[in-house]
Every structure is written in structure tokens, then in C-alpha cells.
Chains A and B, each alone.
Chain A
Amino acid sequence: MSRLSLEQKLAILSDAAKYDASCASSGGQKRNSRDGKGIGSVTGSGICHAYTPDGRCISLLKILMTNFCIYDCVYCVNRVSSNVQRARFAPEEVVTLTLEFYRRNYIEGLFLSSGIIKSPDDTMADMVRIAKLLRTEHGFRGYIHLKTIPDAAPHLIEEAGLYADRLSINVELPTDNGVKTFAPEKDPVQIRRAMREVKEQKDARKDRSHTGKRPPKFAPAGQSTQMIVGADGANDTTILRTSSRLYTGYRLKRVYYSAFSPIPDSSSALPLIKPPLVREHRLYQADWLLRFYGFDVEEITDSGTADGNLDLDIDPKLAWALKNRHVFPVDVNRADREMLLRIPGIGQRSVGRILSTRRHRTLRYDDLRRMGANLKQARPFISLLDWHPRGLTDTEHLRARFAPQPQQLQLL
């Protein structure tokens, strides 16, 4: 095999990395390089430096160290039985790419993942070495996200957490059965054990020692994971229950949903479908309701379809409101925060504005408009000093006002 140029390797190893949805660079420990002795900063909120025509943000240089892999996960472009071209970066090449892109303000940092070569420990050790080179040799203070290898030794995970802002391990599929079927070499129990280890390492470093010294931070931006949606038969209820368990059990920062997307040289075991993008979007909306709006899984899924999926035509918050009309209209001037958060078209920020203004005066309809609420959605569900929806809340056709118009059939 002829030697590949850096450009060729970059092409192969970024193409191989694009099926990982996460590109977030938020939540890191705040740092800067004002002292002039290093390069980089972490602002805490993350920045999307570019968008590709798939509408996804480029925040990090998302690459695989290598796409050689000894595993045979059916959904994966890099599985051992695939004929895609293989490549492997030298650690110095990853370091150079990261730094040169960073200096030109293309990226917030590095998201490094890898196929499994030789053994999980060897692979993890190489990834840790890259992070260490960046941090110690080059004074890099930007964001680093390492994908940890589930079967890697605990001391490697520990070292990874000291250099990286975020660690992640993909649960891959919503159910253990799905993992067994489509990723035969991966063990769901082992994946969860690795997540628990990361959580425990993080917890262990929270307390000061008896001398009052704080231990070095461990993965300050926490850990995240990804589930592929639409490859196995799991419905949205199953998926959201899994997410909810991950959030509470392992205190994950984020669960990413990745619509199963066609890959080159696909396996005959998984027919190529159009990626279910709307479904993915609805799952993210539901995920948001779980984390920030005080909903629990059953409330959300009970307002979905009979087969346990979310309604694709309307968002899950609106779906819940339509199913629970007896609690509406909500009096915006009196309701508590929890209830305000349940009104369709009114988000967290608007709720904050409502509460702060309400302390001084009674709100009117136009006030909400100026506060940025989506009144087209909220209207049937609220009452204010000068607005009451009357019968609107209970009309039979309320859902039809929000759902997309049925498409007229075309004559051939």
C-alpha cells in the first residue's frame, strides 16, 4: 500500500467520524492564554465555527485516530467487514492539525475517536498520548473531547479524564438486545460499567484533601453518549426511558440521538433508509423537556402515538398540552414557574421575563409578544388581563391549527 498524504488521511478519517452527532464544546472549565505561554481558551458556552449543508455545526475537529477496527458493528462504516479505505494518523499529525486549525479560528478544539486496533488498551493509550502531547508539550488550552473505549483499563480512563474536558462512551443502541444484534463484540454491561467508572472518578475528585488542596479536575464538561435511532426496532418510549436512566443513573451531560444514516459499503443486514430526521428532532425536543421543563418520560410518551412513538407532526410539548386541556388556559399573571413552563410557545427565557415583570405589574397580551413568546402557539393556552381564549382551548380542531396541512394529491 502506498503511503497516504496528510490530506488523504484527513479526508478518510473525517469521513469516518461524521456519524457521531456530538460536536459540542460547552461546559468546559474556563481557561485562557492571556499569559502568552500557551494557546487557547474555553469560554464555557461553546462556539459553532461553521455549518455544513447538513445543517450541523462544526465546533471541534472531529476525527478518528484510525478507522482500522477489529469490531464488526453492522451499522458502522468502519466495521472490519467493510471495504472502505483505511488510514491511521500518527499522534503528531493529529496534534499539528488541531493546533494549525485552532490558530486560524476554525475550531474550538479536538474530538478524537478511534476504531479499535490491536486491543482496547493500546487504542486508548494512543488517544491519551495525543491529548497529553497537546496539553503538556504545546500548552493547548482549548477543548478536548475523547471518546473512551469501553473495555480500556481504568487507569487509562483516569488519565484521559485529566487531559480531556469531556469523555464519552456510546451506548450505540437503545436496548441491550439491539447492541447484541448489531454490535456483537460490544457488551452493554461493560459500556455501563465504564460510564459508572467515569462518574465515580468525577465524584472522587470533588472533595478537597485534608490539606485543603483541590485535586485536578476530571473531565470538567462531564460525559455524554450517543444512541442510533431507527436502526433497530426500539420505539421512542424505549429510547426516552433509556435516556432518562442515563441522565439520573450516570449523571450524563448529554444524550445524543443520531438518525441512522446511509453509509458507503453498507451491510446487507441493515437496509439503507432515508435518515429519520424529524424523529431525531422530536427526540431532542423531548429530551429538552426531560432535562429543563420538569416533564417525566411517561407524560411525554403518553401524548404520543399509540405505538409508543412521538407525534411527528407537532412538538411534544404541544402534544402534551392538547392531551391535557383541562389544565388550560393558564393564568399567566398567577401561575407558578412549573406551570408556566408547560405552556406551548413559551420557553425558559420567556418564563424568566414573565416572572421578573410580574413582580411589578399585571401582564397584557402584547407584553408577551415583546418578551419573545410564540403567541401563535401559546394563544389557546393562556389568559391575561386583556386576553381569554374562551372556547378556543377546547375546540375539536385545535390540533389541525398546528399540524402541517395534509398534502393535496397530485393528478398524474
Chain B
Amino acid sequence: MTASKGRAKGTNRLPLLAQAGPVSLWMILFVTIPMLFIIFISFMTRGTFGGVEYTPSLESYQTMMEVTYFHIIVKSLGVAAETTIACLIVGYPFAYYIARKPPATASRLITLLMIPFWTNSLMRLNAWMLIFQTNGPVNNFMLKTHIVDQPVTFIFTDGLVLLGLITNYLPFAVLPMYSSIEKLQKPILEASADLGAKPSVTLLKVTLPLTFPGIFSAIILTFIPALGTYVITDMLGGGKVLYIGNIIKNQFGTIRNWPLGAAMSVLLLAVTALMIFLYSRFAKVEDMEVV
């Protein structure tokens, strides 16, 4: 919309510059240049005390292909996929439910969904830890009701990491799907029913395809951050359960191998780019349902 307005004015580029200039400057300074630097570093060598020696090498990429790292990458993709699928399964019916409510109720429900996000995510993670720790309420309840005789170790396990990821990313899945479903016109669903489709057929052949842009946005908005996260996995996993985000963080922290960390970040960038590419094939960018 804004772009066509600028073009209509012909030679006068000032409005366009004023509108897109600051954002472009911001993006170039704080996104593009650091990103190019990361790509550059990934082809360099590590220094003894960490840092980077500017000797070109492909070492980092070779290291990344070693079995152990490859394993972590596959495992991380798997967990991100599990998180995404769980968010879709839980989120879609929920989004559908909200979208079918009157607007006032719907906005109240959306607010409820967002309330936990008014607190810092570290607070929420600490709350999880307190609830599930060995002498926490969950274990105490299970001991008292004789469901178990010994406290169960919940924290620092893959299961709790997954639970943490799902609760953290669920709103990002619900919002775009809600916005997609909300736009779905009732007459189309009625037409489907009138033409003899059972509700299940309408869901599969009409509702799901028409809300696909929302679903795909939900996938992108959960899968990509879930793949890159390290705070959730670090806290709930106790520094033992490692995913690609932790490995990257460690390269820039304790392990001090910046080139390898950079190379792994490039890999994440590639995965992200691939997903955006797929999205642009399936749906037009204008349809991207990001609330």
C-alpha cells in the first residue's frame, strides 16, 4: 500500500525515504551488518583465548558435521517439531473456540492467554522449577496421596523442557490461527453443509485449507524460536540437556569457539530462510497472519 503511494508521486522520493528510511537504517545497522559479520566469522579460525583469528578456514563447518553435533542438530529439530505440533494440536481448537465467540468474549479470552506474558519469562521458568522440584507441591501431593513412594525427578529432564517450550510458545501459535479462523466467512461453511458435507469433511476440506496461512504462520512463529532457544532448555534442562541453542551459547561463552558458534548460527539462519521460502510458495506474503 505505502509503496504504491510513493511510486504514484513519481520523482519525489522524500516520503518513501521518510517512511522506509529509519527502518531500513535500523535493519541494516543492527540486523544485516551483524548477520554478515556472523557469516564472516564462521569462516575464520578460533584464537587461543577465544576471540577470532582472521585466517580463513572451513574447520567450523567440518566440525559441525561430526556425528555428535549432527546428533544434537537432529535432536533439536525434533524437539522444535514436537513443540510446534503440540502447539498446533492444542492451539487450533482453542483458536477456533475463541474465534467463534462474540468479539467481547474473544478479546477477554485473548487477554487471559496473554496475562502470563506480563511477567518476565525467567520468572515463569523459575515458577516451573519451584512447582516441579523434588520437595515442590507436585511431588508433595503425589507423596501424600500415595501415588508414588519416592519423589519423582521432574526438573532437569527432557519432558519438562518440552512442557516449558510448549507453554512458552502456545500464544504465538494461537494468535495467528485465531486471526485466520476469525476471518473465515460463515456462509462458506454453511454452503459446505448445504452441499452435503459432514462437519468433519468441512473441517478437512474447507476450514483447514482456508486457515492454512494462519497455521503456517503459527508453525514459523513457534518452530523457529523453539529451535533457537537456550534459556528454557538451560534452566529446565540443568545444563545437561543440550540443544543447538545451548551449543551456540556455549561456543560464545565457556567454550570460546566463536567461529563454530557462528557456523551453527548460520545453519539456523538457513533453516529459517528455508521455512520463509516454503511459506512464500504456499501463501502470499500479504496473507501472513502475524497479529
Same complex origin of A and B: no
